[in-house]
Amino acid sequence: MENIVPNPNPNPKESVPSAIQCPMLMSMSYTLWAMRMRVLMRIHKVWKTIKPGSTDPNKNDIAIGLIFQSVPEVLILQVGVQDSPKRIFDATQASHLGADRVKEVRLQTLMSEFERIKMNESDKIDDFAGKLSELASKSISLGQTIEEPKLVKKFINSLPRSKFIHIIASLEQVLDLKTTSYEDIVGRLKAYEERILEKENHGDTQSKLLYANSDQQSFSSSRGRRRGIGGRGNRGRGIGGGSN
């Protein structure tokens, strides 16, 4: 009968799936990074080195290695002098929570500006669309994406009603604004604006021609009257001269 050799290590260390990667702090907010790091360290069985802290040198080394893989080099130089993963983690938190608060304030200011902005009568569609796109890009850089339906709705509601009421009503009837792209709406409004400008320019040209013709007729009529008055006066003076 074959002897059964007992396993000397009844609880072998489980291998970590290769799909698990360390989250990089530079590409996300500290809060999101900390949440992902907590999960990662639990998977590696070293979260207790952070909360509450540990004196196990092996686990501390694993935790420090995970943190150093998850932060940019410049931050490693700042926090790497700490002698435990708990202190390194706390130093990372202290250096980034302040930056996150500043980012949050900037985002609130940006969103307030987004809610208040309106298109002026003198603005062009292209210019106003560019302003909204710029605000949307800044919002993304601060960690919040303005969804396209919200951007489309904001654009439509910000247009001067006196100038665009007819095209707005038409678009709301024929399009589903929840699925229409921002570029499509901007393109349609630009085409409408160009037709308005063309019509206004054509009307101005017609008005100028009518004014010029009217002015020319007035000038000719006035000149004719002056000639008639002058002719009668000359004839009168001639008769008078003959009788003298």
Q: Within this chain, do residues 135 and 212 fall inside the same structural domain, yes or no?
A: yes
**pTM of the predicted model over 0.75:** no
Instruction: Give me the residue label for tokens 């002058």.
Output: 230
Helices (H), the chain: 30-43, 57-70, 73-79, 85-116, 125-141, 148-157, 161-174, 182-243
pLDDT values of the chain reduced to their tens digit, one per residue, 244 residues: 444 444 444 444 444 444 568 889 887 778 889 999 999 999 999 999 999 999 999 999 999 999 999 999 999 998 989 989 999 999 998 888 777 778 889 899 999 999 999 999 889 999 999 999 999 999 987 878 999 999 999 999 999 988 899 889 999 898 998 999 999 999 999 999 988 878 766 554 444 444 445 555 554 555 555 555 555 544 444 444 444 4
Q: Within this chain, do residues 136 and 170 fall inside the same structural domain, yes or no?
A: yes
Q: Within this chain, do residues 162 and 78 fall inside the same structural domain, yes or no?
A: no
- Where does a domain end: 101, 132, 154? 101
In a domain, 234, yes or no: no
Q: Which of 120, 114, 159, 148 is nearest to 171 (CA)?
A: 159
pLDDT, position 15 = 45
> What is the distance between the alpha carbons of residues 95 and 30, in angstroms, rounded to a whole number?
10
> What is the distance between the alpha carbons of residues 32 and 26, in angstroms, rounded to a whole number?
11
pLDDT, position 237 = 47
Are the beta carbons of 25 and 33 closer than 8 angstroms? yes
In a domain, 196, yes or no: yes
Q: Within this chain, do residues 78 and 126 fall inside the same structural domain, yes or no?
A: no
Q: Within this chain, do residues 79 and 127 fall inside the same structural domain, yes or no?
A: no
Q: Within this chain, do residues 53 and 134 fall inside the same structural domain, yes or no?
A: no
Q: Within this chain, do residues 207 and 178 fall inside the same structural domain, yes or no?
A: yes
* Distance spanning both ends of the chain, measured CA to CA: 169
Are the beta carbons of 41 and 16 closer than 8 angstroms? no
Q: Which of 200, 155, 210 is nearest to 177 (CA)?
A: 155
In a domain, 106, yes or no: no
Q: Within this chain, do residues 126 and 208 fall inside the same structural domain, yes or no?
A: yes
In a domain, 135, yes or no: yes
In a domain, 20, yes or no: no
Q: Within this chain, do residues 132 and 46 fall inside the same structural domain, yes or no?
A: no
Range of the domain at 58: 25-101
Q: Which of 42, 35, 38, 36 is nearest to 16 (CA)?
A: 42
Residue type, 165: I
- Where does a domain end: 42, 71, 101? 101
In a domain, 94, yes or no: yes
Q: Within this chain, do residues 129 and 84 fall inside the same structural domain, yes or no?
A: no
- Domain tally for the chain? 2
